[in-house]
Amino acid sequence: MKKPQIPLDELRAQVEACHACPLADGRTQTVFGDGNPNARVLFVGEAPGKNEDLQGVPFVGKAGQNLNALLEIAGLNREDVFIANVLKCRPPGNRDPRPEEIQVCTPFLREQTRTIDPEFIVTLGNFATKFILKTEVGITRLHGTLKMAGRFKVFPIYHPAAAIYDRSKWEALEQDFAYLGELLKRE
Ligand code: SF4
């Protein structure tokens, strides 16, 4: 029998109350995710950074500005899509997520995905891509290629923050978002 979907409000309350890993101790607040609950495209990033932790919203600050500009290239805006992260709390000093944190937190992302039931999952960067595709292949090889994970079409892309420090990534991001726009028209 198909498992019932958990409403997003209920999931958000579960995340807000979560103390299942030590990241709860350092957070200002949890960052559940944001956007259209019926989105055709779910974007999955890595974890909240400083600004996200302060505001409780994913992809604000410079990485958020990059993402907004890139969404426009694909013919999308923030209200069209849903944006979430692998982890719901900020790792100290923006360090990488640890395997045990990913393991304990990702049931929330799994339930979000079941409830939103998108057609496309766009994974932003290595951590989201490796988790969703269950692969050890890195984002450098996978970005810009369409994959399947169960019934979901998965499109890995560099993390928009990567272009803040490495402008060569910006061109790849622009190309991948342009291709995403084509896929959304075609598929
Ligand atoms: S990162 Fe995830 S598992 Fe850890 S406390 Fe936050 S919500 Fe809970």
Mean pLDDT along residues 48-69 = 94
Q: How many CB atoms lie within 10 A of CB 6?
A: 14
Window from 8-12, 75-79, 160-164 with minimum mean pLDDT = 160-164
Residue 141: CB atoms within 10 A of its CB come to 10
Residue 180 C-alpha to ligand 1 middle, in angstroms?
Answer: 30
User: CB under 8 Å to 86, separation ≥6 — which residues?
Assistant: 44, 45, 46, 47, 97, 102, 105, 106, 109, 127, 128, 131
Pocket perturbation via mutation, ligand 1, pick of 15, 101, 105, 109 by most ligand atoms within 8 A of CB: 105
pLDDT at 45 over 70: yes
Q: What is the pTM of this model?
A: 0.96
Domain covering 8-186, topology: Uracil-DNA Glycosylase, subunit E (3.40.470)
**165: confidence class by pLDDT, cuts 50, 70, 90:** confident
**Could you identify the atom of ligand 1 that is nearest to the CA of residue 104?**
3
Break the chain into its structural domains and give their ranges. 8-186
Pick 165 or 15 by higher pLDDT: 15
Whole-number pLDDT of residue 1: 61
Residues with Cβ within 6 A of ligand 1?
15, 18-21, 23-24, 30, 87-89, 101, 104-105
Tell me the C-alpha distance between 160 and 167, whole Å: 11
- Which residue owns the Cα nearest ligand 1 atom 4? 21
Q: Could you read off the pLDDT of 173-182 as tens digits, one per residue? A: 999 999 999 9
Element (H, E) at 122: strand 120-124
In this structure, which residue's CA is closest to atom 6 in ligand 1?
Answer: 89
pLDDT digits (tens, 9 = 90+) for 102-137: 999 999 999 999 999 999 999 999 999 999 999 999
